[in-house]
Amino acid sequence: MFRQNSSFARSETSHQFANANESVRWWEENHHQNMIEVESAQELVDSLLNGGERLVVLDFYSPACGGCRTLHPK
């Protein structure tokens, strides 16, 4: 799972979220132990290479995306 880019976070506005004071944002909920967040392309490549023979599932999202928020499991 990708973590938001810090430069994107600075440009983010509070009206994009129903409750800007949430302690856990929707994309941080239900973060399972076998999930990792990557912050760069190199970290993604390294994670995929370290996956070996295991199945790797990528979940791309944007905190500002209304569709991402709608499709997020409740």
The angle formed by the CA atoms of residues 4, 5 and 7, to the nearest 5 degrees, is 135
* 49's tokens: 């290479």
How far, in Å, CA of 3 to CA of 28, rounded? 9
65 in catalytic set: yes
Active site residue 68: yes
Looking at 4, 68, 69, 72, which residue is catalytic?
68
CA nearest 60: which of 46, 41, 33? 41
* Residue in 65, 67, 71, 73 annotated catalytic: 65
Q: Which residue is it, tokens 């600075």?
A: 10
Enzyme catalytic residues: 65, 68
